[in-house]
Each structure stands twice: as structure tokens, then as C-alpha cells.
Amino acid sequence: MYRVGLNDLEAVVAIARRGSFRAAALDLELSTTALSSAIGKLEASLGVRLFNRTTRSVSLTDAGRVFVEQLGPNLQGIHDAMDAVRSQQATPSGTLRINAFATAAREILSPLVLEFLGRHPLVHVDLVTEGRMVDIVAEGFDLGVRVADLVPSDMIAVSLGRPQRYAVVGSPAYFSVCKPPLAPSDLVNHRCIRVRLPNGALLRWQFEKRGRIAQVDVSGPITLDEASLARSAALEGIGLGFFMEPDVRADIVAGRLLRVLEDWTPALPGLCLYYPGRRNPSAALKAFIGLARELGTNSGSRSGPLNRRAVPQPVVEE
């Protein structure tokens, strides 16, 4: 007789959450074939289909919906019990899953993540980068990293002490034939590299100077959806680019890219590590948060409730 295991139940919830066998298999570190086989055995043992499958979509059946609704709280209870036991560990171990946007991941990798791994070799860190905002609890992450103003209000936040700025840059070759813009309004006369956001919208370039806010819908020869591609285009002289400063800092220092409109790009709120309040955090989670606070304190930042000042936020064009 087939015995249903915890992994089978985790698989059902993962597929329901992600709406895809392939995405759920990646989350669970399984092959799609193995995951499909496990669900097939579970459905056979229950005598009902949990999912409607087509070549293009996956959805819960009515029976599957009832199953997931009742399974979810009970599965969470099991995880809470496991977390309670793990919290008693003296030595951090296991896996920490962190969600961050790419620029933030690059910023925290060396000073925080690699330092943590050096101190705690029994811990595995799974760092996932994506531009869209995610519900870190619903999607199985322990921690998230975002700019302070984007941290959900119900999360506990730890300031990482790294103020963020935008940077408008172009290559020396570009400026050999085009005069540098002196104000955001001058951008209408420049070729610019457009950026498409994860939701499909186009980013408007935003500026602020002594309380004056400007948002410019730039135009140019190319639209890209990844910062490294936009950087490559800027280095090739295709046009001006609008980046988070860390993404092009080394290029500016080396002279490969020249910065303009710097007086229109003030500091924005810095990065924050955030996580949900838990009664029994694992030893690994407690150690990671402790290190983040330690490094933040050493850099002059503070942790605790967020100080959310008004700053220009990304404006998108539908």
C-alpha cells in the first residue's frame, strides 16, 4: 500500500502555489518527471485527481482545492513544530532561502552572505534573485532584501546601511558626439536605453533636486529587461543608461562610463533585510539576522522600525 509522505504533501502545496509542475520541481529540487510521478501516486492512493493538467496550464480540481485548503494549516503546524526543534540547535545548520532583486544580491553577497558562510559552514544559502515583489512567506523564503520603502509593513526589518542612488551614465564614445545633459529635460535630445520592468511596464527615469521632482519618459533605440544587458549597451555607446549605482560603480571609477546629472540623483533609503516574526526561528536564521545587525551597526546603520521618508518611487508606464 502506498504511504503518503510529507514530501508528497509539500509537492501538492508547491504546485498549487506556483501553478506549474516545472516551477514547483525547481523549488523542490526535483525533476519534473519525479514530481509528476509522485503526484500521480498520491492521486491514485486518494482515488481522486488533485490537478487538471494541460500542455499549457495546471489548475486545482474541486477536490484538490478542498485538499489544499485543509492541508495548508496542518502542514504549517508541522513546520512550526520542526522549527521549534531546530531552534534548540546550538550549531546553525540547514538551508536559508533568501529572495532579493539582483542589485541587492550583489551588494550583500560579499559583506554578508559569504561572511556568514565562512562563520557557519554547515548552513547552505539559497539566494534567489528576481525583480518582482514576492510574498516571501507564501513562496517559502526565510528572508527578503529590498529597498526600505518596499519592505512590507508587517515584516521585521533590519537596515543594512547601504543607501541607494540611481546613476545616469554614458560611454566616452557617446559623449564624443553628444553634449552631456545638464538637467532631466535635456534627455529628450538624447538616445536612451529603455528598461522593461518584471511586470512588463516601462521604467520612467526619476530625479529629485532640492525638492523638485522630475520624471522623464525617455526614448531610444533599444528596450531591455536586464541590468547587465543595459550596461553592455551603454558600454558600447548605444545611448545613456539609468542604473542603480552599484551596477555601474566599477565602470564609473575605471572611466568606462561617465556619469551625468549626479546632482539630480540624491540618496534613496538603503537596503533592508526583512523576515516574518516567528516564535521559533532556526539557529541558522537567528545567526544570519545577528550578523546582519552586527555589520549594520559597524557601518553606522540601525535596525528596527523603518523610517520611511518620502522619496520618488519608480513610476511605470502601462
- Which residues lie below 8 Å from residue 272, measured CB to CB, with a gap of 6+? 145, 146, 147, 148, 151, 157, 158, 159, 160, 306
Going from the N-terminus, what domains does the chain have, and what CATH number goes with each? 6-86 (1.10.10.10), 94-162+269-317 (3.40.190.10), 166-264 (3.40.190.290)
Instruction: Output the DSSP codes for 196-232.
Output: B-TTSPEEEEEEEETTEEEEE----SEEESSHHHHHH
Report whether pLDDT(161) > 70.
yes
For range 60-89, the mean pLDDT: 78
Instruction: Compute the mean pLDDT over every residue in the chain, rounded to the nearest whole number.
Output: 85
- Between 314 and 272, the higher pLDDT residue: 272
Does the pTM of the predicted model rise above 0.85? no
Report whether pLDDT(252) > 70.
yes
- What integer pLDDT is reported at residue 188 of this predicted model? 94
- What integer pLDDT is reported at residue 198 of this predicted model? 80
The pLDDT tens digits of the residues spanning 256-305 come to 999 999 999 988 878 899 998 866 788 899 999 999 988 875 554 434 43
Report whether pLDDT(143) > 60.
yes
- What integer pLDDT is reported at residue 297 of this predicted model? 58
The C-alpha cell 550583500 sits at 108
Percentage of residues in the chain with pLDDT exceeding 70? 89
Q: Which stretch of 48-57, 72-81, 221-230, 274-283 has the lowest confidence by average pLDDT?
A: 72-81
- Between 173 and 139, the higher pLDDT residue: 173
For range 63-77, the mean pLDDT: 85
Q: Which stretch of 34-43, 66-75, 87-96, 114-123 has the lowest confidence by average pLDDT?
A: 87-96
Report whether pLDDT(310) > 80.
no
Instruction: Output the DSSP codes for 123-184.
Output: EEEEEEE-SS---TTTTT-SEEEEEGGGS-TTSEEEE----B-EEEEE-HHHHTTSPPPSSG
